[in-house]
Every structure is written in C-alpha cells, then in structure tokens.
Structure 1
Amino acid sequence: MVEQIGWRNVTRLLVFSTDAGLHFAGDGKLGGIVLPNDGKCHLHDNVYSRGNSQDYPSVAHIAEKLREKNVQIIFAVTEDVTHLHVLPKCAVGTLSNNSHNILQIIVEAYNALTSEVVMENSKLPPGFHISYVSHCKDHKLRDGEQGRRCSDISIGDEVSFNVSITAPPCATSSHRPSRVIIKPQGYSEEVEVLLSPICGCSCQKDKVPHSPSCSHGNGTLECGACRCKEGRVGTFCECNQVESGEAVDSYLCHRDNASEQCSGHGQCVCGKCVCDKSSKKPNQAYYGQYCECSDFNCDQYQGLQCGGQGRCVCGVCECLPGFSGRACECPLSVESCLSHDGQVCAGRGVCHCGTCICQDPRYQGPTCDLCPSCPSVCTVHRECILCRAFSQSLNPKECETRCAHLNLTVVGQAALLALVPPSAGLHRCMELDTEGCRVHFLLRAGQKEGSVHIHVALERECPSGPNVVLITAVASASVVVLGVAFLLLWKLLTSIHDRREFARFQRELEKRRWNRVRPVQTIPSVSVCQSESKQ
C-alpha cells in the first residue's frame, strides 16, 4: 500500500471522511464471499480489484496493518457513526452537515495525535517479560500501562522511557536468539533488541573474592562488576544498606528542599545523585551535585544553541566577546546600525542587539532612514532653489532669510549634471517651478551640520504652448461635421415619417372605396290581361 500511494518513510496521516458506518469481517457472506481478506493492497489504476472475491478485513486486522505501516487515521465522520470508528492511535472528529469544519477537525486531530507518545513492542518469546517506566515532562515516574505513554507533549519537549526485558530462568534448554522491535506508535523510528540469554559467563571463573576494587573487600569482582556482600549496596559496594536508608537518601538527593530527587535527571544511590545521560545525545549527560547542570539545554537563537556565538555551561550561555543576551543573540557592535552617512541609525534612533529602534515614529527601515510620509530631500529645498536661481516662489527678503544655508552653484545646461558620477549622499532631483517647467539640480549635504551644496541648471524644460490654428481648425471642422450629420439625420427621420403618413393615407382611401353603397336598379313589370272573348 505504501508503495502504491507514494508515502515516504515518515509519519503518515490518512484522513477518512464519511457519513456511513463500516463493514466488518463476515459481512461479505451476505454476498456469497467467504474468502478472508489477505491484508494486501490490490490496487490497479487506483481501483481496488478484490472487492468481489475477498471478505472485509476485521478491525484487528486493520489495526495491525496500520501499526505495521505507521499510518495514523483521522476519522471525520458524522455524529451518528462516531462510536463505530475506534482504532488504536487514531483520532475521531464530528463532521458538520455541510462539512465546513473539516479543516478544523484535521488540525485538532493532528495536534491530539502528535501530543501523545505511546510505546509498543512486537511479540515477545515465551517466558520473557517487558516493562516500561516513563519520564514525562511533569518529571513523574509512571510504570505499568501508564509507563507506556506520555501526554501533553509539544515541540521541543523531551521525554524518555526506560524499558526492562526480563529473561526466563535458564533451567530449560538453551534459547535461540530472537528479536524484539520497540517503537512509538505511528512513527517510523524503532529500536531492534536482540534477545540471547546467557546462562553462564566464562569470566566467572576469574572472579576475585574480597576484591580491593569493591570498597576494600566488601564484594567479589566478577566479570568486571562488584557482587556485594549481604548488607552492602552501591556500584562498588561502598554503602551500608542499613545506614543508608530511603529517608537519608531522600534528604541528601534533594536540592533546596525540592520535591524531585536529583532535579529529575538522575537516581539517588547511597545518598548521592547518579546523573542520567541525554536521551537525544547519549554522549552528553547531566552533572552537578544534584544533576542540575547540563551543557545542552541553553536558550537557542535561529535554531542554534547560544546562537552559535557562545557555549553552554550548566544551562547558561557564556557568550563570545562582542555578543550578549540569554542566547548570545545581541551583537555589541553597532556596525549593522550605521546608515549611509556613517551615523548610528541615521541619528534618529538607538542601536539595540544590532537592530535600530527608531525614536521618530515617522522613520523606519534597518537604519531609520526611510520616511514614507516625509517629503523628499529634493522637495524640501525646492522653494529655496527657485528663489535663489530663478527669483520665483519666495519674495527676496524671505528668500534671504530662509535660504542662506544653501551653497548654490549654477551651470548652464542640464546635460552637465548627468556627467557627475554617483556617490554616497548625492541626490539627483527634478522639480517643477511656478511656470510648470522642469528644473534639474544635484544636492549633497555639507560637512557642517545644516549646510547643503547644490548644483542647479539654468536650462529648464518648459512645455510648449497650444497650437491655436490647429485647435481652431479642428473645432470648426467638428462643428461642420456635426451640423451636416444633424441635417442628414433630420432628413432621414422626416422621410421615414412622410412615407408612413402616405402609406396610411392610401390604406384609408382604399377602405372608403370598397365601403361605398351602390344604387339598386329596378326593372318595371307590366301586367297584361286579355279577355277570353278577345282571345
């Protein structure tokens, strides 16, 4: 399945959304399918091809395959079927009727899945027993089933698990080596443990009873370790079990009446702290009388411990010369705060940790030299340039008062200003005078505060006046064209109206002619009476 989908060897999330229940193993018998599911993918052109020949998998079968492939499912289902979708190391979210909360369900489920670590292991050989002890972020020891998990974990938290595997007695025949996989649920990282019971050690024949290495003869040196006499404890049998009771050990291993022994980073043995090693970096360990020190838990800056500008000593950064701060993140040099004119933050702010803090709210930027709402340096000196070079804008008295600080140099053509090479502090300016002409000048701040050196070109770019003849001709032609067009339109509308009236007149004339009443011609009748005698 992993190969067909294209997953890499990472933690895999699968979002499944439905409003229906699920089928169980045995439901296929209703359709005459009795062959059990083999747990394989059977995808052909992204279509499952064994739906008519294999039964549905069981819940346990699905859970086993998910665990085998490191897949965690997020069920986004409707409220009436949430109780049906329950699997180990999976999250269930209630989907709304229009599915508008699908993204929220995925985010919350992902946070829930990644905030808990649950340890699991493969099947143990007969007779072996495994136990877990968890050291979670609250520094409380948990054993049993609770020792397999740590909850409420966020990025950067460190938790550890002590795993103990107990072998059966060696009274039976020798066991063959076997392997056990220990891993967190839903993650690809795993530890493989080779179990090979050793019922006898060849080094036991070289044991040294009452060895001086075992606290002046209080134990037997056997296979490089001390087997203590009854009543003695410790790595080198240095402690008296009666004198070094739990209360004494607890008192000696607590720092400043703290509730944790050995600061939560070690074990109390004979009244002394035996410090642990780091689970992330085995070559680094906690140290100190109460295991309170470490050289790997200092503050970080930009992903580096002590910002890469110091070393960690007992949880505190010792910065290199030129740096300060909890994570050595603050350079003492002001080089990064210098503006183009060599001033710190352009004289408008203070440099803190290599960054300018602008005191004038109008200015911004890395060196407080940007002011989007301020007029440009060219616009600021426009009026003085116009009055000094062209006698515009300001009256003579006001010009002399306000513009005395300008060192003005006049050149003839504007092209001469383009020949001046660019340099720091040089501004090329173009402003409009009171007549709408363009004035070109160069501006540079002087060495004295407030002084300005300006080179201005007397040649101005003035827009040409309007072409009166052309405008008059165009206007006249437009009037004539519009008049002719109006007459033609009037003539067309009049003709259409006359044609309609004439057609109506003809229809009325025809109607009157056919409706006229014609006179009836009466033929006179003559009656002739003849007598019989006459006949």
Structure 2
Amino acid sequence: MLTILCQGVTITYKSICKNGVEGTGENGRKCSNISIGDEVSFKISIESQKCPSNGKPEVIKIKPLGFTEEVEVVLNFICDCQCAAEGEPDSDKCYEGHGTFECGACKCNDGRIGRLCECSKDEVRTEDLDANCRKDNGTDICSNNGDCVCGTCECKKRENPAEIYSRKYCECDNFNCDRSNNKLCGGHGRCDCRKCICDANYTGGACDCSLETATCLAKNGQICNGRGTCECGICKCTNPKFQGPTCEICPTCPGVCAEHKDCVQCRAFEAGEKKETCEHDCSYFQLIKVKDREKMPQPTDQSFPLTHCKERDANDCWFYYTYAIRNDTKEVYVVETLECPAGPDIIPIVAGVVAGIVLIGLALLLIWKLLMIIHDRREFAKFEKEKMNAKWDTGENPIYKSAVTTVVNPKYEGK
C-alpha cells in the first residue's frame, strides 16, 4: 500500500486479509497470497501532529501498488479552539434542544445522556451506551455500518433501498456476497449476512454450480457417456483421451483421420466426395491453413489432444492435416499445398535403356569370348595329348620315290 503524506501527518494501517488474518504495523500495509475474487480490507487511522503553516486543507493519496486506482483523502484541520465562545443553550443541534452546544459537542441537560442528548437516564440501564452497540471490545460501534442511539444500533440506509444492513450490531448485509456472471449469488440464490443461500438444484459459494445433469447426458443416454462425472452441469472426463461436452469425442482414437478426410479435402482444396455438400456437412470445425508441416501444432508444446493425419486424394497427391480440440472448439490445421508425385523424366529413362542395351551386349560378347577361349584351350589340350601318345613306324614310306635313279650300262665291262 503506497501513501503520499503531507508534513506533520502520520498514518497507521490495519489489514484484514484472506481468511480473516489481521496485520498491524508494517504488516498492516499489505496482504499476501491473494488471488482474483478474494476480498481484503484495510482500516486506516490518520493523525495530525500539528497544524499546517498555511492553514489550508491537505490531500492524502492512498493506492495499492501495481494499480492506477487511488483513494484521495482531504484533511481539513481545526486549529482554532472554539470553546472560548459561549455555548448555545437549548440548541437545535442537540436532540430536541435537550442540551447546550459548545466546543463542537452537546452538553446535556439534567436527566439526558448521549452524544446528542437523545436518551433519558430513566430509559437506559447503563452509562456506557456505546458498549451496548459493540459486538465485543475489538469491534467498531455498530460494525461501522450504523449509529448507536440510546444503546441500540440504527443501521445506515443505502442509496439502493434493496440493499440493507441488518442484525443487532449491523454486522450483516445482503449485498456483499460472492458473484457469478456479475450477478449476486449467480442469480440463483439470496444473500444473507454475506453468505449465499442457494435455490434448489444449485450449490457453491456463488450458487454457480448446477445440480442438474441434463446437460451432461450423451446421445446414448449415459451421463458423460460413462467416461466422466457431471460437476456443476459440466462433464469432467476421467479418461484424458475423450473430450467434448459429454466425453464423446476422441481425437486420438483410430479412424479420426478417415472420418474427417472428405470435409478437410472439400474445405481446404475444394475437391473430394463432399465438394457439392461441403457448406452444409463440413462447417463443424475451424479451418486453419499453414505453409508447411513445421507450422502445425505439436504434441510436445500443446495442452490439448490432437491427431496428425496424412491422406491421399484421387490424383495420388498427399495432403497433411492435424485435428485438434481446444476449449470445446474443433480445429483443423491443413498444409495449404498438396504433395503430388513428380512426372517421369525422359532423359534418365532413355539413358537407362541405352546403357542397359550396351551393358547387355558387352556382357554377351564377354560370355561368347570366354566360351571360345575355353573351347580353344580344350582342343589344344586334346591335340597335345594325342601328339604325345602317337607311335611312328621307322620303315620306308611305300609311296616314297627317291629322286636318284641308277641306270646300269650292259656294255660296261668295268674298265
């Protein structure tokens, strides 16, 4: 709590924090561990040690840290004593003139008591009238919500006549109960002494919890489809796989991709079996297009169930999408471009065929050459073997005729 003080003014705090925990001194300036909807209050006492030199009113600003709202207190100092002036007998400022008004207060006539002399001594049994207006010694007179008149609290009236303080010490009211949807007690109960008294079939601190189970009935007639409990008219699914108002939706179960394929195809690419009835049949989810699969939600960084799908269309093109349910809203993230197979490349095909023919020809040629080498080696080996085994006759060849012819001269006598 931040306070801007003027010179000569001291201020003390008393905090009433969550669960009624009180703090004084430095602890009276703060409340810890509070959350939205918690109610805390501060009691502030301001004391002036001296009058300002200029005699003008001073302004104190009080505001909580972190907020722009502030409370502005205007201090008007009474520095001149008026008691020196003569009193005003039977003043109208005292109850029915039963006192003298002097020094800013009523001095009661005999037989009258009270701050404004409004009480008769014969009507009250105690001289400490304020004690009868306190619940205990630690509380304010009439809980600071009323005036003590002759020992009895008269509660303050509010601008709204429907809002009233009540009980003996004005400690109760009918307008400071919890709210839901900006309605007192959620519009399903009444406020009694700062506590909601709920109507039938409602419970909770702000009567915001319905005991009706009709909103939890699934199509099969079971409460929450038999997979959860109905709390305040809302299904709490016990199996985290199931989602939806009645625990009937399972985005991670098998068959989810096939179930939504046609609708995703018609809405994202204006194609598929439901192209003609797309607007009527496929408006049950929110379509979100992304540039690539990296932009799709991932299970590691999401707090809601989702299913990644990969489906093929009639043109053998693949499309990718993710089906998810977030806060009861069905969302489909679709990669905006199809992944289609590329057409045949003629050059590699022709080159492959030619290379195949050449390689096959070379292979056949090598095989033929190898067979010829093997055949020649076998024939040569056979020849060598026959050569080694051959036996030749040493006689003269009968068909051999010598080139030399001898002729005998009969008349030659050897002389």
Name the TM-score class by shorter chain.
0.3 to 0.5
Bigger Cα Rg = 2
TM-score, normalization: structure 1? 0.36
